Amino acid sequence: MKKLFILAAISAAMGVSTLAALDTAKIDQITGLKGKMNEKEGVYKVTFPRGDVKVVVDGWSMPPFMGLGTWAAFTATKDGAMVMGDTVLFEDEVNAAMNAALDNGLSVTALHNHFFFDRPKVFFMHIEGEGPLEKLASAVKKTYDTTKAIRGPDLKPAESFSVVGQTSLPDKNSITAAPLNEIFGTQGESKDGMVKFTIGRPAKMHGVTIDKDMGVNTWAAFAGSDDNAVVDGDFAVTEDELQPVLKSLLKNKINIVAIHQHMTHEEPRIMFFHYWGRGAAKDLANAVKGGILVGGLLKVSSPIP
């Protein structure tokens, strides 16, 4: 028995040693950053501070050391490597960086804030990926390069989604509900020229069934006019649905503004992401419906009464 235990320990140690053989020089070369190895964990981590933009939190100029550091950590796997990381972003960088991450094979697993009263607003985008080391390092580099491209011309983050020459939203809302009802295949809720659609999905928490009115829902609210509208809302998706639905909305120029959870111990686990879009109401509705179809949400929907 003792010999078997020793052999098992040696075998396990050899397995760990094999997996720990990361080509750290290649990571440095591809990302353009100098990393640091944690020998105990077998993790190689590259970091850089977001010191290019001055950030003030609660009236205090925050040094990057206090939580404004972008990082990506690599560990070896039997199929190559895994990367996990957190990317410090300003509002006008988020969707470009998310597109770059998703287009290059990474998953985006969260998008949220870490501070209150921060100027400019700072967001944190978490990433994860598995596969060949070179591909992962390249994906990380392309994600980081988006921030350099945006901040290069202007160190001051934009304060609006609006582009130069874009018409302001009308003061009075006048969305026509009928075309949107047809797109979503259900009757929306109308109020003061605005229209809102809510699609629930069944889940359980602590053995209790929860659905649309308990907060497990995808919704889209439209305001403005038919040809100059805004849509905002929330998607409730499973972990497997998250990446394809994000890609669908981004492809149709819908901005993602948050990714997080709303509950604990729910089954299945539900991820929520919030979004914002501008354009013609019918175009926005079709973009949102595209995400609903990709996620298969219509198949599990609870119709609005």
| pLDDT tens column, 172-230 | 999 999 999 999 999 999 999 999 999 999 999 999 999 999 999 999 999 999 999 99
Rounded Cα–Cα distance for residues 205 and 203 (Å): 7
Q: What is the mean pLDDT of residues 50-54?
A: 96
Residue 132 has pLDDT above 50, yes or no: yes
Q: Average pLDDT of 92-117?
A: 98
SS3 category, 275: strand
Distance CA 167, CA 39 (A): 56
Average pLDDT over residues 139-146: 98
Arithmetic mean of pLDDT, 141-153 = 94
Confidence of residue 102 (pLDDT cuts 50, 70, 90): very high
DSSP 223: E
Percent of the chain with pLDDT over 70: 90
Show the tokens assigned to 169: 């939203």
Q: Which residues, in sequence order, are bridge partners of residue 302?
A: 200
Query: What's the whole-number mean pLDDT along residues 243-249?
Result: 97
Q: Cα(19)–Cα(81) distance, rounded to whole angstroms? A: 9
* For range 136-163, the mean pLDDT: 93
pLDDT at 91 exceeding the cut of 60: yes
pLDDT of the residue at 6:
52
**Count of CB atoms situated within 10 Å of the CB of 54:** 11
Q: Which helix (H) or strand (E) holds 274?
A: strand 270-279
| Residue 32 pLDDT greater than 90, yes or no | yes
Q: CA 113, CA 261: separation in Å to the nearest integer?
A: 13
pLDDT value of position 293: 93
- Band (pLDDT 50/70/90 cuts) for residue 122 is very high
Tell me the whole-structure pTM to 2 decimals.
0.89
**How many whole angstroms separate alpha carbon 294 and alpha carbon 247?**
10
Q: What would the pLDDT profile of 263-301 be if each residue is shown by its tens digit?
A: 999 999 999 999 999 999 999 999 999 999 998 876 654
- Predicted pLDDT of residue 181: 96
What CA–CA distances, in Å, run from 280 to 225, 227, 257, 286?
8, 4, 20, 10
Strands 80-90 and 229-238: unpaired
Strand pairing report for 270-279 and 118-119: unpaired
What pLDDT is attached to residue 165? Answer: 73
Residue 56's SS3 state is: strand
pLDDT average, residue stretch 7-31: 70
14: left (phi over 0), alpha (psi -120 to 50) or beta: alpha
Is 44 in contact with 27 (CB distance < 8 Å)? yes
